[in-house]
Amino acid sequence: MRFAKRLLMGAGAVALAGILAVAIAPKAAHGLVAALVQVANTSANPVPTYDSGTRFQASLCYGFGPVTAALNACAPDANTNTFKVPVVTSAGAPVKRLVVDNVSGVCSSFNNPSLFIKTVILTGPFVPDSVPNSESAFSDYIPIVGAPYSYVNDPTSPFPLASVPETDYSYGQTVHFAFNPGDTVTMYLEYFFTSVGTRDAFCLGRIDGTLATE
């Protein structure tokens, strides 16, 4: 009798647990759905999406000095160191943001062993939800970390490189820079200079990224 009572009590406990599970499960499911709705993409609160088919690329060049000019290093223009972020993709989708994920390129300086190029800089307006701290533009820095290669060009080299001292650099870095649609992005180079000799250098830049769309 006592065994039967225990058996019935055990069966009742199992049944009660089953009833509680049925009662609780829908609430947990609703809680999960509610959590998912909070991050859903809606017209009132669109979430940026990264369209793998909408890759962005830009080719930039910034330079100064007589040898750089004679080389026409930044052809066809004297300086092509800016680009404007598209406002729509080629498929007509509105752009919410440009996310740059890689910057690479090469630099050269001439006739001045005391001039060292250290950093390539991309500047543009601040994106929303930034903290400008009185700055009018935001600068992204891509350091040149590899050792430069210095040499003197052969006397038989074509003009304007004959017998000209030259220092070459290369750089490349995975980044995560963001720019607004319609904004102008500008590339510069930062260098150390002893104020002795000429300032003559240029940098080529290749920008790769993705256009985030609504």
Q: What does pLDDT average to over the chain?
A: 82
Identify the band that residue 197 occupies on the pLDDT scale cut at 50, 70 and 90. confident
Q: What confidence score (pLDDT) does residue 51 get?
A: 46
Average pLDDT over residues 150-162: 96
Q: Which two tokens stand for residue 7?
A: 């058996």
Could you tell me which residue, 212 or 30, shows the higher pLDDT? Answer: 212
Closest CA to 112 of 79, 144, 148: 148
At 100-114, the pLDDT tens digits run 999 999 999 999 989
Least confident of 6-20, 162-176, 186-200: 6-20
Q: What confidence score (pLDDT) does residue 3 get?
A: 42
Q: List the domain boundaries for the chain.
A: 1-40, 49-213
**What percent of the chain is modeled with pLDDT above 90?**
63
Could you tell me which residue, 141 or 20, shows the higher pLDDT? Answer: 141
Find the length of the chain: 214
Could you tell me which residue, 18 or 182, shows the higher pLDDT? Answer: 182
Element (H, E) at 4: helix 2-38
Check pLDDT > 90 for residue 95.
yes
Check pLDDT > 50 for residue 141.
yes
Q: Helix, strand or coil for residue 13?
A: helix
At 57-74, the pLDDT tens digits run 999 999 999 999 999 888
User: What is the distance between the alpha carbons of residues 166 and 154, in angstroms, rounded to a whole number?
Assistant: 11
User: What is the distance between the alpha carbons of residues 214 and 43, in angstroms, rounded to a whole number?
Assistant: 9
Q: Which two tokens stand for residue 100?
A: 């740059």
Identify the band that residue 75 occupies on the pLDDT scale cut at 50, 70 and 90. confident
- What does pTM read for this prediction? 0.73
At 20-48, the pLDDT tens digits run 454 555 554 444 444 444 445 555 555 55
Contacts of 63 (CB under 8 A, 6+ apart): 69, 73, 74, 79, 201, 202, 203
Q: What confidence score (pLDDT) does residue 4 get?
A: 45
